[in-house]
Amino acid sequence: MTDRFLAALFGCTFVAASAAQSLPESPPRAPIGIESGVERLDAALRDSVLVRDDARARFIAAQFARTDPEAHVRDLAAAFAREPREMLYLASLASACMERTLPVRPECATTDYLSQWSFRDGDNAVPWLLLAERARRRNDLATMAAHVNKAAQQPRYDEYWSHMLAAYWKELEPLARPGERGTAAMLARLYAGSKPVAMDSPILAVCAAGRMAADEALRVSCGGVGKMMAQRGSSFLARVLGAGLTERSMSASVRGPVARDADPLLRQLQVRCGDLDAQVSRGLES
């Protein structure tokens, strides 16, 4: 299966529920005995990746080490060093190095992974928004605004969530026993959904309502970012965040009708995602 196919199949319901928190969540449809299957697969996955040194194993080990920032960044750097062409590893490492720590992690101090990401993935708005957030933290508002404007001009918004989902699935599928492929798919989705590759907080900070109200050019740029995300975001969550940003960048007279039009669409998408998720779960076990 391709990464995009995996994202469409396994990610839809989770992302819809996360993004549309005001909408009622569907009751879980857990098969009988799923808890034991989840526990077994989780233990098997940890046992597998923690004794290997290949790129994917080190990347997943980094996800299990989130409570240990040093180990988390160290494993991400190791994954990227072993497979530098995989954008998931570069994006994850760049995002991890955005987190404020004292002292700065050695891996983050020696290389500017975020600038490297923006150079290699220049038509992707995500690294430009992270660069804008970094400039904001340094109180360099002119550079911040320039990076937001740059992000608004890009044709893509890709957090590489589908790549993360695929990484988990490629590890879990071989570990699944007969009748457990649906459980493995669900577990891959839960793992991948526990932490996005790129933070959504930069958008909230850089395109805060107060900033947009005080800076017309920034308001226009943030609106452009929101529109691009809503139309071309690589996940449903990105599209909903983009729709919200677009709405916040509008005047009050326009904002109300936009919100009223968007709510039924979100509900329709949630229903469609739920139906697709159920079909895939049945198909995996057939």
- pLDDT value, residue 188: 93
Spatial CB neighbours of 148, under 8 Å, sequence gap ≥ 6? 128, 129, 132, 206, 207, 218, 221, 222, 225
Task: Give the start-to-end residue ranges of the domains of the chain.
Answer: 3-20+34-285
- Radius of gyration in angstroms for the set of CA atoms belonging to the chain, rounded to a whole number: 20
pLDDT number for residue 64: 93
> Is pTM, for the whole model, over 0.85?
no
Q: What's the pLDDT at 174? A: 97
Low-confidence ranges of the chain (pLDDT < 70): 1-34, 194-200, 251-286
- C-alpha–C-alpha distance, residues 106 and 78, integer Å: 13
Quick one: pLDDT at residue 262?
53
Q: What is the pLDDT of residue 236?
A: 80
- Report pLDDT for 264: 62
Cis peptide before 103 (omega within 30 of 0): yes
Q: What pLDDT does residue 25 have? A: 33
pLDDT of residue 198: 63
